[in-house]
Every structure is written in C-alpha cells, then in structure tokens.
Amino acid sequence: MCYLRSSVGEGYAEIVVVRHGETSWNAERKIQGHLDVELNDAGRQQADKVAERLSKEPKVSYVYSSDLKRAFETAQIIAAKCGNLEVLTDPALRERHLGDMQGLVYQEASKLRPEAYKAFSSNRTDVDIPGGGESLDKLYDRCTSALQRIGDKHQGERVVVVTHGGVIRSLYERARPSARKVEKILNTSVNVFRLFDGDKWTIQVWGDVSHLDQTGFLQSGFGGDRTSG
C-alpha cells in the first residue's frame, strides 16, 4: 500500500480510482446499486481527506465520476482541491444495478427477495438479478470499457476517477485476472492503475486509506457482489 511517487510517462495513462465517501446507507448496510444516495457527514470528511491527499501528489489533469450523487459529490470535493477542475460524469461508471435487492438491508435480502438474492449469490458471472439488475459480466464489460476509453484519451496524464465498490472490483479483475478476488473496497480508498498502449493494465497502489488514519471509517466495503462483506 505504499505510494510510488513518480511522473507520468508518455506511454500510459495513470488513473487514480477512488471509491466514493460513506453514505448513511453504507453505515446501515442497505443495498444502493443505482439508487441515488448522497454522502453523510462522515463521507464528506473522508472526501475532504482524500482530496487533500491528492492535491499534494502529482498533478491531476481531469476528474471523472459516476453520475450518482455519492460519487459526484466526492469528485467535486476532489476537483475543487486539485485546481478547481470540472467533474466529467459518465453513467458507465455507476455501481452494478442490483435489481430487486436495491433498497434492502443486506441481512434481510434473502428473506424479502429470495430470487434476487439467489442470483446475487450465484457463482456464475452471467446471471442477471431480477428487477432489472446486471450480471457481473455486464458490469465488467461496462466499466472496463469506460476506463479504457478514459485511458486512451489521457495518455501521459494523471486522471482521477470516482466510482463504486463493485466497479473497482471489476477493474481489479481486468488488471489482475489470475489473482484472488478482492473483498472489501473501503470508502475513499485510493487505487492507482496504469493503462498502457496495447491494452495492458497494471496496479501501482491498491486499497490505500492512509489519508483516513485520523478519521473513523467503516471497515465494511459492501458493493457489487456477495464477497463484499
């Protein structure tokens, strides 16, 4: 989790992928998916901390975000501290659509929506969740394509992308397809990807929340799949 401080080379884009700050639903373990929940006070404090950190690191050229409030507000706070940049929203960076699971407390989902919970808990990646939800394969295709587009556009630059736990898990799988699945993606964790010419992805920093050392934060990192804890 150490930060490798370096300038960005011409042959790749450095993309700092940040999970949004905490929401009241995160704290209550309610399933958000595409439902539009804003940050709580703790989440805004976390966003301030990660923004302060990124403002002291190598120059950020652009800030992208999911268009959901919890990500967009986090991105706005980061953009303000990194040179008053505009936040560019992209719906392809949204969390996985979790269908009939959305709005439920995680522990109650199996009783209230058994079919949706069964699909959500499946080991198969091609199973859609009833109620308009996405399979893991659809999430993977959507968000990895979005990050590749950003990488292709910003070779030689450092860019911030604010998104969601399920998305970040898929990006990890794209960069490290043979690695163990990751579990917790913590609020405002910093994950630095390098996207090279020729579709090669590497991870320089993973799951770094050192900016939150003086701030309380949730140890749970729910989002996107059954391993999220």
Residue-wise burial string across 150-184, b where 16 or more C-beta atoms lie within 10 A, e elsewhere: bbeebbebbbbbbbbbbbbbbbbbbbeeeeeebeb
Candidate list 14, 22, 73, 95, residue with the active-site label: 95
Q: Is 14 a catalytic residue?
A: no
Residue among 42, 101, 36 at smallest CA distance from 71: 36
Let me know: does 25 contact 32? Beta carbons within 8 Å.
yes
Structure tokens belonging to residue 221: 């990192």
Among this protein's residues, is 34 annotated catalytic?
Answer: no
* CA atoms of 77 and 69, how far apart (whole Å): 12
Name the active-site residue from 14, 20, 164, 211: 20
Which single residue is written with the structure tokens 């070779």? Answer: 155
Reading the block at residue 195, the tokens are 């996207």
The catalytic site residues sit at 20, 95
